[in-house]
Structures are given as structure tokens and as C-alpha cells.
Amino acid sequence: MSQSPQSPQQPEPSEPPRSWLPIAIAGGIALLVIVIAFVSAASRSGMSAAHQSAITVCEDAYAATGADTGQQPRIEAGDVYSASDWRDLRDLVEQQGLIDGATSKVPADTADALDAAAASLTKGGTDHVTVVWWLESEKHLVCTVDVNGDVADASTVRLGPLTADTWKGADQG
């Protein structure tokens, strides 16, 4: 009887050592995403005390308009504009189709006057704030209010629809 030649036992290949590098990279990316999210949220929520006061006064005025019925449309979203933000407010009015930007350019003297008025307000520690809300009724509502320092003056609140002249400020609105 012959014995079959036995092949020498081959050692099983050992598993390569596991590396923590992929896990460390994934963890670093996740941490970076979280940090960016927090920084982004914090920078967007950094509203000035003057703007916050204007919003509160405007919300109170809006709530009072429905005090007898309690049926005013809910505020879905909104933006706040200082007097110096008139260009951004005008862009919104244009986006809503209330003015045609191609045919109604702002004359340089009007732009200069609005910039000068905004600078004068700022220098005096005041502002004319415009709050534009999008309501659940799918309409815009505008609230304007004068702010002195960080306090909105409730006696200056004006509520109304978004119009072609909303962007022109306190004297035109």
C-alpha cells in the first residue's frame, strides 16, 4: 500500500490588518458637516435686536387685526429689510411681478436719495424697517415700523399689501 504524498500544510492566509483610516476619514467628514450646519444656522438666526423688536411689534399689530374674528391667515414665512436694504426689497417687488425691472430702472438721483436717507437714519440711531410676510392665503402682507435704537415704535406701524411702491421707503410706501 502506498501512501499518497501529503502536501505540506499551507498556512491559511492571514487577514490584512484592519485600518482605522476609513473610519477616521468618515468621522471627520461627518463632524465637518455638523459644524458647517451649526455655523450656517447660527449665522442665519443672528437677527439684530432692532429687527426682532420690529417683528414683534408687527406681529402684535397683525394679531390685533383679527382680534374680533380670529380668522386672519397664518404667517408662513417672512423677510426683514432695513431702509438700507431698499435694493433687495425692490428686487422682491420685481420678482413678484409688481414692477418690470427692464423698463423701470431706478434713476441715479432716486438711488442716491434713498441711500442718503438710509445713512441719515443709521447715523441718528434709527431705522425704517419693512417686514414682508407670505401668508397661508398665498398673499404678501407688508408691515413698516420706525425703530429707535433697538426699540420699534408701535405707533408708527403700518400694515398693507405688497405694492409696486413698497420698496421706496417711509415717505413713499
What is the sign of the dihedral through the CA atoms of 77, 81, 85 and 89? positive
Instruction: Record the cell numbers describing residue 59, joined without a space.
Output: 406681529
Q: What is the pLDDT of residues 18-44, one digit of tens each?
A: 778 888 888 888 887 887 776 666 555
85-121 pLDDT, tens digit per residue, is: 999 999 999 999 888 876 778 889 988 999 999 999 9
Q: What is the pTM of this model?
A: 0.69
CB atoms within 10 A of CB 10: 6
Distance from C-alpha of 150 to C-alpha of 129, rounded to nearest angstrom: 11
Selection from 26-30, 44-48, 70-74, 82-86 with the highest mean pLDDT: 82-86
